[in-house]
Chain A
Amino acid sequence: MSVWDFIITNAPALAIAVPLLGAFLTPLIYRAGRKTALIWVLSVLGFTEFLALLLVYLVNTYGIQVYVFGGNPSTLAIPPDSGGIPIRIIFTVDGMSAFTALISSTIGLVAGIYSVASEKGRGAQDKFFALLLLLVVGMMGMALTGDLFNFFVFLEINSLSAAALVSYRIHGGKAVEAAFKYAVVSSIGALMILFAIAILYGEYDALNMAMIAERMYQTGFSAMDMIAMALIVVTLAMKCGAVPMHYWVPDGYGEAPGEISAMIMVASQASLYGLFRMCFTVFGLSANTHSLGWFLIILGLLSMFIGVTMAFLQHDIKRLMAYHSVSQTGYMLLGVGVGLATLGTSAFNQYGLFAMEGGIFHILNNMLYKGLLFLTAGAIIYRVGTSDLNKMGGLAHTMKFTAIFYLIGALAIAGIPPFNGFVSKLMIYESVYQLNPFLAVVAAIVSMLTLASFLKVFHSAFMGPKLYNVKEVPKSMLIAMGILSFFIVLFGIFPNIAMTYLVAPAAHALADPVGYITRVLGGGA
């Protein structure tokens, strides 16, 4: 068996194992010098990115990939002597998982490149880079796993490493406060998920998502399932920053370093993935998806509106952007919520699937432009030394590239046409309008307020007289921002590239829980 065959066969496991090995070895390799460690970290991140791309290719070519840890062969989901129940931990990679894994590893790579320069000269960098890799592990694991308890374990890796990274720049204790709040909130959430997993285990004696969904469908949706569903859905909605529980978002994103804000933003998208996976695959067959969908829609509306209005109030650049990511999460919840509310009816094929595609495309776009904006905010703070917008001004005189990148990101997030934000917003407006016109109106108003507050940032940070005599940021930060800007423009002009290879498979995978279940419980190939 050649190396290539080995990689193809074990791609889902390697996508976890490679960054995990990288994280374990980083503190050791850092002893050999910073440069060696950086080469190591970046090559690990690059290889992870390659594996995620390979997973997307495999899923698009051969359908859902099943990987059984310890199975012989590794695709044997159901052992022949077990009577049709999955025994071991199973990774199930469908379109949505591959999509989330791809955006997670991409933002990890970009943040790695960016932090080469931005964290130079700070202490404890071996731990910083190891935690960065662990955060990638957490996101990838949440995306790829098909086992509930395993999902919980990766959720904990995700939240703990994110909390540690938030506290990296201690910033007079403020960053530690933010990290504490983030850690408390995500720990109680994770415990509630564990509680729900215990309820589901006690009822069905299974931990595999497909098996639980199958048994739930057979025995009927009981009150226990309802309570477990409420626990899981509310927790994951909190982890992705939906509004009545969004308070940790501005704290956490606002105090973290720029590239870490971008990564935590994508980590919360991984929780969003978990939310969609639970709603569609685990509970989608049995529960009342109509009311569940409307719950997501209402959360999305609240997130959109309150997020954007609170953002307008802020004068701290990172906090402002953090509130905007609350608002952008609202768009995704709205789009996918419309898909969930219409699931199983004739409206689903008319506009529900399209709304889901819009919501999922928005996840990709949000990763690109919100990541870019956080990186530009990090660049500004790197040069100016403050995050207070009131003290900024005239940066466009000297930081020309940063200004251009900021403008690309701001226009994209506001939905100005040739950039990618417009495409997904258009898809959401058009389809949501058909469910209820009010939803589309709110979405459009939120989009306008977004533009207003980013113009405010542009004016106060980049325009005006030259207050600071600063240089352009170092090259590695510009490269990281340039990568994201390139994809923003590319997906803005050719949206069908993303639609064909990433978004449409993801939406179809979510909308087809039966395919997921039969692929796992059908015995594997």
Chain B
Amino acid sequence: MIFNAPFISVMILIIFGLYAMVFRRNLIKVVIGLDIVESAVNLFIVSLGYVKNGIAPIYTNSPGGAMVLPTPQALTLTSIVIGVATSAMLLSFCILIYRYYGTLDTRKVRRLRE
């Protein structure tokens, strides 16, 4: 059970990110929370592929023995780029919102309601 410590830390990170998204009243902090969740999920995927005493799945100068699973690393590469794209979009929206509303407080950025 304690060997699952990487998973536990991932879950704690996810909860921190979600906490920031629900309780922080600043748009930038909401985006940061989203990024924390994203990093945590990436970490989770990578740690799923770990094999005990495994080496990186590269055959150049490989000492032999078990290799860690390669697919999670490939998936993480893709999802990191996707996360960067998402953050870029969200932060550019934040710039515009600040320009038009003069604030980043989520309680004031609500001209659309009901």
Query: Does B99 count as interface, using CB distance less than 8 angstroms?
Result: yes
**Which residues 140-187 in A have Cβ within 8 Å of B in the complex?**
149, 152-153, 156, 160, 163-164, 167, 170, 172-174, 176-181, 183-184, 187
Query: Does B30 count as interface, using CB distance less than 8 angstroms?
Result: yes
B41, A191: Cβ atoms closer than 8 Å = yes
CA distance A180 to B30 in the complex (A): 11
**Which residues 60-84 in B have Cβ within 8 Å of A in the complex?**
69, 71-72, 75, 78-79, 82
Query: Does B93 count as interface, using CB distance less than 8 angstroms?
Result: yes
Query: Does B12 count as interface, using CB distance less than 8 angstroms?
Result: no
Q: A156-B82, A173-B97 are in contact. Are A164 and B89 (CB under 8 A)?
A: yes
Chain B residues near A149 (CB-CB < 8 A): 75, 78
B112, A174: Cβ atoms closer than 8 Å = yes
Query: Does B19 count as interface, using CB distance less than 8 angstroms?
Result: no
A254, B90: Cβ atoms closer than 8 Å = no
B96, A173: Cβ atoms closer than 8 Å = yes
Report the nearest A residue to B102, measured CB to CB: A173
Query: Does A220 count as interface, using CB distance less than 8 angstroms?
Result: no
The main secondary structure of chain A at its interface with chain B is: helix
Report the nearest A residue to B37, measured CB to CB: A191
Among A163, A170, A188, A255: residue with most chain B CB under 10 A: A188
Nearest chain A CB to B26's CB is how many angstroms away?
A: 13
Contact with A along B30-71 (1 / 0, CB 8 A): 110010011001001100100000000000000000000101
B100, A170: Cβ atoms closer than 8 Å = yes
Report the nearest B residue to A172, measured CB to CB: B100
CA distance A160 to B82 in the complex (A): 10
Give the contact-size bracket for chain B: 35 or more
Chain B residues near A170 (CB-CB < 8 A): 96, 100
A178, B34: Cβ atoms closer than 8 Å = no
Contact with A along B88-112 (1 / 0, CB 8 A): 0110011011011100000001111
Query: Does A522 count as interface, using CB distance less than 8 angstroms?
Result: no
B34, A184: Cβ atoms closer than 8 Å = yes
Chain A residues near B44 (CB-CB < 8 A): 195, 198
CA distance A314 to B114 in the complex (A): 8
Q: A153-B78, A177-B112 are in contact. Are A163 and B41 (CB under 8 A)?
A: no
Query: Does A194 count as interface, using CB distance less than 8 angstroms?
Result: yes
Query: Does A202 count as interface, using CB distance less than 8 angstroms?
Result: yes
A194 CB contact (under 8 Å) in B79, B90, B97, B110 = B79
Chain A residues near B45 (CB-CB < 8 A): 194, 198, 201
Query: Does B85 count as interface, using CB distance less than 8 angstroms?
Result: yes
Query: Does A452 count as interface, using CB distance less than 8 angstroms?
Result: no
Chain B residues near A188 (CB-CB < 8 A): 21, 34, 37
Report the nearest B residue to A182, measured CB to CB: B93
Nearest chain A CB to B39's CB is how many angstroms away?
A: 10
Nearest chain A CB to B47's CB is how many angstroms away?
A: 9
Report the nearest A residue to B98, measured CB to CB: A173
Contact with B along A300-314 (1 / 0, CB 8 A): 000000000010011
Nearest chain B CB to A377's CB is how many angstroms away?
A: 16
A176, B86: Cβ atoms closer than 8 Å = no
B114, A310: Cβ atoms closer than 8 Å = yes
B30, A184: Cβ atoms closer than 8 Å = yes
B112, A255: Cβ atoms closer than 8 Å = yes
Among A198, A205, A255, A313: residue with most chain B CB under 10 A: A198
Chain B residues near A357 (CB-CB < 8 A): none
Query: Does A259 count as interface, using CB distance less than 8 angstroms?
Result: no
User: Would you list the 7 A-B pairs with minimal beta carbon distance, nearest first?
Assistant: A173-B100, A180-B93, A202-B48, A176-B96, A251-B112, A198-B45, A187-B86
Q: A191-B41, A202-B48 are in contact. List 15 more A-B contacts (CB 8 A).
A: A149-B78, A163-B93, A167-B93, A167-B96, A170-B96, A173-B99, A173-B111, A183-B86, A183-B93, A184-B31, A187-B86, A198-B45, A201-B72, A205-B69, A207-B71
- Please list 17 pairs of residues, one from A and one from B, whose beta carbons are closer than 8 Å in the complex, sorted by A's number: A153-B82, A156-B82, A160-B86, A163-B89, A163-B93, A167-B93, A173-B101, A176-B100, A179-B93, A181-B112, A183-B86, A184-B30, A188-B37, A191-B38, A195-B14, A195-B41, A201-B48
Seen from chain A, the residues whose Cβ lies within 8 Å of a Cβ on chain B are 149, 152-153, 156, 160, 163-164, 167, 170, 172-174, 176-181, 183-184, 187-188, 191, 194-195, 198, 201-202, 205, 207, 250-251, 254-255, 310, 313-314
